[in-house]
Amino acid sequence: MFDLFIFFCLFSWSLAGVFGVDEVKSVSVTEGESVTLNSDTEIQTDDMIMWRTVHNNSLIAKINGKDKKTDFPDERLRDRLKLDEKTASLTIMNIRTTDSGLYRVTSSRSKTPLNMFNLTVYARLSVPVISRDCSVLRLYQNCSLLCSVLNVSHVTLSWYKGISVLSSISVCDLSISLSLPLEVEYQDNNTYSCVLNNPISNQTTHLDITQLCKTCSAVIRLALSALVGVATVAVLVYDVRSRSLQQKKREQTPSNSD
């Protein structure tokens, strides 16, 4: 199941590489940032420069060369767009994942588009959380751990030892939660880290073995002392019972001898 997933991820990403380079310029940003798409032109006085989103061929920005008058017809984008008066380059501010897609800029002086962009907006990465997996009790001197992230898509989650990858899983379009297990020895050095990354950024959490791996032994000790407690109570109950039995016997003995 997961193998299929990973294969699909790689496949669609390499397709982008094949398409993107020549005709479509790829731009990747993290949500919340600003991005500027260049028209690669200088506005002439008899010019009208227009920006459109390709998927619905919707006009989102235009500037008139004569009076430099700008217009932003798309209500959803209007407040977050800016046009450069000299170059007609388009800036999208406070970008959202839903702004992802193809953008095209045209001039009234030319039939072919001036430029085309494939804009990909990635969600902000959360910091991966490492926790002790206490459901796995080992007789050996090992500590079971889980690295987890909630509700992610287009990411890879990996365990590193130093700079080498020990294991990893990837997820594409779905928004799901991921967990990746790791087993370490108590006396291991603290060179492990869990890394969440997408194609443009990463978030890292370093494993502190002495801090994390003592938690379950505390639980075990608690369980042990609870067992000892139960045993103590059992002995006490037994003691009390046998004493009361002896007492009964003693009480009975005189009445018999009478």
Ligand X SMILES: *[C@@H]1O[C@H](CO)[C@@H](O)[C@H](O)[C@H]1NC(C)=O
Contact residues: ligand X, CB under 6 A: 12, 15-16, 19-20, 24, 26, 118, 120, 123, 140, 142, 151, 175, 183-185, 187-189, 195, 197, 202
The residue among 87 and 197 lying less far from ligand X, judged by its C-beta, is 197
The residue among 83 and 157 lying less far from ligand X, judged by its C-beta, is 157
CB of residue 42 to ligand X, shortest distance in Å: 27
The residue among 58 and 253 lying less far from ligand X, judged by its C-beta, is 58
Three-state secondary structure along 156-215? EEEEEECCEEEEEEEECCCCEEEEEEEEEECCCCCCEEEEEECCCCEEEEECCHHHHCCH
Adjacent-strand bridge partners of 156? 170, 197
The residue among 131 and 175 lying less far from ligand X, judged by its C-beta, is 175
Both tokens of 87, joined, read 């170059």
CB of residue 246 to ligand X, shortest distance in Å: 51
- Count the neighbouring beta carbons within 10 Å of the beta carbon of residue 252: 10
CB of residue 229 to ligand X, shortest distance in Å: 30
CB of residue 84 to ligand X, shortest distance in Å: 24
**Torsional sign, CA 41, 46, 51, 56:** negative
Angstrom distance (rounded) from CA 15 to CA 209: 41
CB of residue 78 to ligand X, shortest distance in Å: 23
The residue among 26 and 217 lying less far from ligand X, judged by its C-beta, is 26
Helix, coil or strand: residue 252: helix
